Amino acid sequence: MFADRGYCEAVIMRVCVGLAGLLLLGGCGHGATAGPSSAALGFARAVTAHQGGRACSLLAPATRAQLESSQGKPCAEAVLGQSVPSSNAVRRADQYGTESRVMLDKDVVFVARFSLGWRVVAAACKDRGQKLPYDCQISGG
Amino acid sequence: MPRDIGIGLAFGILFLVALLGQAIAGFDVYNNEQVSQGLQTMTFVQYLVSASFMADVMENWQSEYLQFLLYIVATVWLVHRGSPESKQPGDEGRMSDAKQLVGAHAKRTSPAWAKTGGWRTWVYGRSLSLVMGTIFVLSWLSQSIAGWSTYDASQLRAYEHPVSWPGYVTSADFWSRTLQNWQSELLAVGSMAVFAVYLRERGSSESKLVGSAHDATGETP
C-alpha cells in the first residue's frame, strides 16, 4: 500500500517536471538566422553581379512565377530589370518559425524556409511605417 | 482496479483522443494556408512541435487551469445557498484546524504533512491551488511565447513588421485569444454551480440527491 503510494508520487513528480519542461520548450519558436541571412545577402549580391540565374535560384517558387508573369520574361532576365539595392552586409535578421525578415544595409528582404532551404519571398522592400506592410518591388503576390 | 480510477482514466483517454484530433485538424488547416500562399508545408511531426500548434493548445490549457484555480480558491470564501458546489453559509474562510483535521486534530490516516503543523501543513493545505496555479502560469507564459512566434510569422508572411514579446502580450491578438477562452470557462463553471441548485443528475457526485430541497447546500451523495 505504502509502496504503491510512493510509486504514484514518483510518477506524478516525473509527469509534473516533464510537463513544465514541455510547456517552456514548446513556447520557443526561434532559431538561428544564418540561413535566412545567407539567402538574402546571396540574392542581393547575385543581382548586383548581374547573375540572374543565381539570383532566381534563391527565389521562392511563387515569387519566381509572379516575377516571370508580371514581366513577361524568363526569371533570369526579369530579375535583373528590378531595382534591387546593392547590399553587402546584414544589419539584422528576425526569424519566427519558417519566416524571416532580413534587414540588409540597403534593403529589406523577406525569406521563408522551403524543403531545398531558405528562399527569398520578397525583396526591394520599402518601409512605409510601423502599421503598414512593406512595399516590395519583388514579391510572391 | 481500473474501475477505481475510472474518472482519471476515462478523461485521460478522452484528452489524448481530442488532442490527436485537434492536431490532425490543425495540421490540415495550417498546410492548406501554406499552400494557398505558395509556402512550404510541414510534416505532421513538424506541426506537433510548431509554435502554431503549441499556441492553440496552451491557450486552452491556461484557461482551463485558471477556471479551476479560481473556482477552488473562490469557494473558500464564497458560498451559494442551495448549490452542491458550495459549503454551508457560515463556513466561509479557511475553517478551523479541528474541522480541517490538521495538526493536533489530524487522524491516523491523515497525510503526513497534515499532521506535522508549521509551514508543511500551510503548504499542503494550499497544494491544490499552488499546483493548478503553477500550471496556469506556465501554460499562459507558453501561450504568450508560442503565440508571439506565430503572430510574428504571420506578420512576416504579410510583409509587415514583427513585434516584440512585450508588444505581443499587450496586443489585441493576445488578449482576444485569452479572453475568448476565459469568458466561456467562467460562464460554464458559474452556470453549473447555479443550475445545480434547481436541477439534478441522478447518481452524479456533482449533483444533489434528486429528492434534496432546493435550499439544501453542499449536499452530494
User: Among all residues of chain A, which has the CA nearest to that of B161?
Assistant: A130
Give the model's confidence band at A25: pLDDT under 50 very low, under 70 low, under 90 confident, else very high. Answer: very low
pLDDT tens digits for range A36-49: 999 999 999 999 99
pLDDT tens digits for range B97-116: 999 999 999 999 999 999 99
Q: Which residues of B touch A132 (CB under 8 A)?
A: 160
Tell if the CB–CB gap between B38 and A122 is shorter than 8 Å: no
Is there a single domain that holds both residue B84 and residue B58? yes
What is the extent of the structural domain holding B31?
A: 1-49
Phi and psi at residue B217, to the nearest 5°: -105, 140
pLDDT tens digits for range B47-62: 999 999 999 999 999 9
The residue behind cell 502599421 is: A131
Q: Where on the phi/psi map is residue B203: left (φ > 0), alpha (ψ -120 to 50), or beta? A: left
Contact A42, A72 (CB under 8 A): no
Give me B50's grid cell.
510548431
- Total domain count, chain B: 2
Tell if the CB–CB gap between A110 and B159 is shorter than 8 Å: yes
Is there a single domain that holds both residue B56 and residue B41? no
Q: CA-CA distances (angstroms) from residue B146 to A27, A81, B36, B48?
A: 4, 40, 23, 13
Supply the DSSP string of B124-140, one letter for each residue. Answer: HTTHHHHHHHHHHHHHH
Strand, coil or helix: A123: strand
Q: Which residues of B touch A30 (CB under 8 A)?
A: 149
Q: CA-CA distances (angstroms) from residue B193 to B86, B132, B138, B207, B217?
A: 8, 20, 27, 10, 11
Is there a single domain that holds both residue B165 and residue B181? yes
Is there a single domain that holds both residue B90 and residue B139? yes
Is there a single domain that holds both residue B43 and residue B143? no
Nearest to A133 among B142, B150, B160 (CB): B160
Is there a single domain that holds both residue B34 and residue B66? no
Contact A75, A56 (CB under 8 A): yes
Instruction: Give, for A104, the enclosing helix (H) or strand (E).
Output: strand A99-104
Nearest Cα of chain B lies from the Cα of A43 at a distance, in angstroms, of: 18
Give me B189's grid cell.
463553471
